[in-house]
Structure 1
């Protein structure tokens, strides 16, 4: 198998050398070019046709975000953002993923060596195999219909590529949307920025989940990450339970942990599984469906990585499918379906 062709874009020659040394130590990867500016990067893309690009978020003359936006418009390709996890950097990285970047890796801090790059080669190799489409769904500019009768609670799980997907889905949600919980695989600082980015962009209130919070109409709560899983607890009135514990299905926060915590309330649940690597969420979605929940998967052709939905489907957890531009409406429609409690 031929190695995957990588373009490194960073304004620091020292950083480019470090990234090259790490990537070239992996037989799956071949660095075909480097660039220190957006203009150089554009020429390198045209000349070398790389399979994947690493891109700094701060570039001279043209920012990394502006260049990323142009790349995704004219020649979409897998891009891994390489940034520092400062407050500002975290915001920029989340914006980059919303623009279509596959993933983000933290730059090593000054004097810290290359330990922070321990997953860089794997991330780049996996990102290179992601499908990135030129035809991206148009963002909705209409105000979602309100005063609908939602009878169920919505749960959404996602990973690689789901930052953009979740934003598009929530833009279809009205201000009185069903209570919604989201578990997205991201480091804790990114989740803070993610929630802060979403809140002013959509009609519902978006925030990081807090332990003990009541699930309410018109509110979207996102797993805060760190050492906590986002679960639900309670009987008639459901509340958030932030569970501190080991990784579940390889992740913390885990989609499986969230889904499994709601199995006892399955007839009141609609569960959606979005683009992402691996199989987190598959076990929980199958258990929810078996117990009476409605379940939905993002279609293969609109996933950046058709991993999590594929595994969930193979296990029998996906009841129906929708393209990304229809997922939001489909989840709302399912939340309107009558709740049929099973006899015990």
Structure 2
């Protein structure tokens, strides 16, 4: 098989050298070039035609997001963002993933002193997943007008809960779904594979754009209509019941299905607590987290949806759930929000 051709864009000469060394250590990857800024990167993309680009988030004196937006509009390609775990870095990275960046690799705190060594396999895995992903030209992400629906007549009377799981490509997919919801939409709980600080920035950004209220889930919150609760990036999210009310439960613990938060953990709790009064949705992502949980939801009587292959960035998690029997129907991403609302009105 041909090697994956990678272009590294980072303003730090040391980081370019470190990233090149890590990626070149894998026999399936070839670093075909490096660039210190978007201007050089633009020319190298034209000359080298790389399969994947790694892009530093925080480059002083230049707008990496504007550059990414042009790339995803004019020459769509898989991009892995390389970010530090700072508040500013998290905000910019979330925006980059909304624009179509496939994934994010977090620089270790001791990166300058050799801390990358232990994280090399993670970077290699993300680049390989990016190379296998589907990317599309950037389109207008403006929110379409939400349908006027009566929360009293439609949602509160059904007590429906929607559970969504996603991974690679999920930030963009979740954004499309959540921004299409009306303010009185049914309550939604989400498990997205994302680093801790990034989940906070992601929720805050969506909250400023969506008609519904979007927040990072805290432990022991009452789950309300018109709200979306996103699992913290380093904790599992579950649903529990307190009397007639549904409540959130967030907790630390071991990885489940290789992840924390785990989609399987969320879906299993929804199956146990809500049964047929739930809708489960599994979106784009690598691996099989959520497959068994979605099957449990379906067996408990819930309606279940899988994102179809043509609209996935990575058709891993939805395929695993479909093969296991957990997906009742497959839909393209633009149809999923309307289907969620339809099922919750039923």
Range into which the TM-score falls when normalised by the shorter chain: over 0.9
Pick one of 313, 316, 319 that aligns with 1:310: 319
Distance 1:19 1:111 in 2: 12
Residue of structure 1 in register with 2:238 after alignment: 231
Give 1:189 deviation, angstroms: 0.6
SS for the counterpart of 2:208 is coil
Matches within 5 A, 1:19-98: 19-59=19-59, 62-98=62-98
Whether contact under 8 Å (2:72, 2:138) holds in the other structure is no
Deviates more, 1:139-148 or 1:244-253: 139-148
Matches within 5 A, 1:137-152: 138-147=141-150, 149-150=154-155, 151=158, 152=160
Whether 2:271 is the aligned partner of 1:263: answer yes
TM-score (normalizing by structure 2): 0.93
| Cα distance in 1 between the residues matched to 2:93 and 2:313 | 17
C-alpha offsets along residues 52-108 of structure 1, whole Å, 9 cap, x if unaligned? 000112336541111110010011110001111111111111111111101111224
Q: Deviations over 1:198-226 (max 9, x none)?
A: 10100111111121211111111111132
- Gap change, CA 1:20 and 1:255, over 3 Å in 2: same
CA contact (8 A) 1:52 1:79 kept: yes
**How far does residue 135 in structure 1 lie from its aligned partner after superposition?**
6.3
Counterpart among 129, 153, 163 of residue 161 in structure 2: 153
Q: Is the 8 A contact 1:131 1:304 kept in 2?
A: yes
How many Å apart are 1:138 and its aligned residue? Answer: 4.8
Normalised TM-score (structure 1) = 0.94
What corresponds to 1:340 in structure 2? Answer: none
Q: C-alpha separation between the residues in 1 aligned to 2:59 and 2:317?
A: 34
- Give the alignment of 1:239-254 within 5 angstroms: 239-254=247-262
Cα distance in 2 between the residues matched to 1:116 and 1:206: 35
> 106-115 vs 314-323, which deviates more?
106-115
Determine the structure 2 residue equivalent to 1:106.
106
Gap regions ≥5 residues in structure 1: 338-344
- The alignment partner of 2:228 has SS state of strand
> What is the SS of the residue equivalent to 1:6?
strand
C-alpha contact (below 8 Å) 1:107/1:116 kept by paired residues: no
TM-superposed CA distance for 1:136, in Å, is 4.4
Match of 1:5 in 2: 5
Match of 1:125 among 104, 124, 128: 128
Q: Number of residues paired by the alignment? A: 336
Partner Cα separation in structure 2 for residue 126 and residue 213 of structure 1: 35
